[in-house]
């Protein structure tokens, strides 16, 4: 099944991706400790990606302060791991051109967050190969 780059497709992608994040041995503990209400958080994340990819303006939050308060538990390597999971999930569920657009946007977002959290640009390999 290939999801469309639309509201339902982004919601399904976000749900599938964060299922993987929550089960990941490195990312899961950080995310699961930080998020008390996963259904509400997934709604927020779907709104974020809708705003980013579709220009809907549905997201009204402030991602920088939300991530900054968890800075002590986040490492630069986690960004690479997060991007790898995101890229594989997008590649598996979306059409190739949509997956590429989602990977590129996620990379720019990760670079901004990492620069804000650690005062350094992201370096090293970005995406793990699919599979």
Report pLDDT for 5: 97
Report pLDDT for 128: 39
Structure tokens at 100: 């590429």
Report pLDDT for 71: 72
What CATH number does the domain located at 7-118 have? 1.10.490.10
Do 30 and 73 meet the contact criterion of CB atoms below 8 Å apart? yes
Do 118 and 70 meet the contact criterion of CB atoms below 8 Å apart? no
Q: Where are the domains of the chain?
A: 7-118
Report pLDDT for 123: 53
Report pLDDT for 129: 37
Task: Determine the Cα–Cα distance for residues 76 and 127; give it in Å rounded to an integer.
Answer: 14
Report pLDDT for 36: 94
Q: What is the pLDDT along the chain (131 residues), one digit of tens a residue?
A: 799 999 999 999 999 999 999 999 999 999 999 999 999 999 999 999 999 999 999 998 887 777 777 777 788 889 899 999 999 999 999 999 999 999 999 999 988 888 888 876 555 444 433 43
């Amino acid at each position: 099944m290939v999801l469309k780059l639309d509201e339902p497709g982004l919601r399904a992608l976000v749900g599938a991706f964060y299922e993987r994040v929550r089960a990941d041995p490195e990312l899961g503990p950080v995310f699961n400790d930080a998020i008390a209400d996963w259904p509400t958080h997934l709604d927020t994340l779907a709104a974020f990606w809708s705003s980013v990819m579709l220009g809907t303006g549905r997201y009204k939050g402030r991602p920088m302060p939300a991530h900054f308060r968890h800075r002590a538990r986040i490492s630069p390597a986690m960004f690479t791991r997060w991007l790898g999971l995101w890229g594989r999930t997008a590649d598996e569920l979306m059409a190739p051109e949509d997956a590429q657009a989602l990977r590129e946007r996620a990379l720019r977002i990760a670079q901004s967050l990492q620069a804000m959290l650690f005062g350094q640009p992201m370096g090293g390999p970005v995406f793990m190969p699919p599979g």
